[in-house]
Amino acid sequence: MIAALALGVALSRLLPDAAGSAEIAAARQSAGPVAWAARPPRRMHSITVPIPPAASGIALPRVDGPRDGSRPLVVIDAGHGGHDPGASNPDNGAKEKDLTLAIAKAIRDRLVAGGRVRVALTREDDRFLVLQERYGIARRLSADLFLSIHADAADNRDAQGATIYTLSETASDREAARLAARENKADIINGVNLGGQDADISSILIDLTRRETMGQSSDFARVLQREAAPFLTFRTAAHRFASLIVLKAPDTPSVLFETGYISNARDAAFMASRAGRIKIADGVARGIEVYFARRLATP
């Protein structure tokens, strides 16, 4: 009882009476916003940065063509997309991402009509994919060939012609070491399970696989240039090498095909026209079909 009385006295000293409360409220109202300056309301701010999902998290595209799993599978990647427009034409503003998608679809349609290979596109609409997702789709589908379609650009508007890029040989050893450190030890590279191997053996197996893949990529690049030459113009020394991320699948032959210069009026008009896309598709399809025919004929 005594403790309760003491607590009541203490609270009465701390809390103002009704009249005092009214005076304080009136003072606060007259003071306006300044009365709150000492303790401003807390505002929570946040910045949202969209991060694309990893390659293993995106849905795989459909596979068109023969329903025969033994037929070679080609994954065609339309470069750029979404918030990444790529290069653009300085005169009419045509975007690389739109040209590459139209060309990729034309190549797919031509290959499906030929009936010799199966085909999948990394994207069929205006969406963004990170580079690892692009070749990651090809690896998850166990593709036999990965072809990334692009359109070149240069300050010199007279520059024209198609170019074929494969992975640089000089980057092989360094990239193999990095890949060995990053890969899941249970991953399977070219049919070899690395789960039971130590780091050094894994690095060697990946390096050997990458070298074989790079050789196959170069073989296809040479066939592509030869077979497509009657259909479109190539640059002098059209087969070039570069350390491009999109070509770094260790077990999928990969080529980046610059179908022309979007900065050049003639090339840009050719790529944008239906007739031009059909010629590009015919040339690429012939290269793909001859490449696989030669591989199947080799014991």
Domains delineated in the chain: 55-169+210-297 (3.40.630.40)
Return d(Cα 293, Cα 216) in angstroms, integer. 14
Give the pLDDT confidence of 152-199 residue by residue, as tens digits. 998 899 999 999 999 875 543 443 344 334 333 324 444 444 445 555
Give the pLDDT confidence of 23-42 residue by residue, as tens digits. 444 444 544 444 444 455 55
What pTM was computed for the model?
A: 0.72
Q: Which residues contact 236 (CB under 8 A, 6 or more apart)?
A: 161
Return d(Cα 108, Cα 215) in angstroms, integer. 25
Give the pLDDT confidence of 219-267 residue by residue, as tens digits. 999 999 999 999 999 999 899 988 788 888 888 999 999 999 999 999 9
Average pLDDT over residues 271-291: 98
- The answer to whether the CB of 122 falls within 8 A of the CB of 141 is no
Identify the CA nearest to 259 among candidates 295, 287, 218.
287
Amino acid 244: pLDDT:
81
For residue 209, name the pLDDT band (cuts at 50, 70, 90). confident
Amino acid letter, residue 178: R
Q: Which residues contact 238 (CB under 8 A, 6 or more apart)?
A: 161, 162, 163, 164, 225
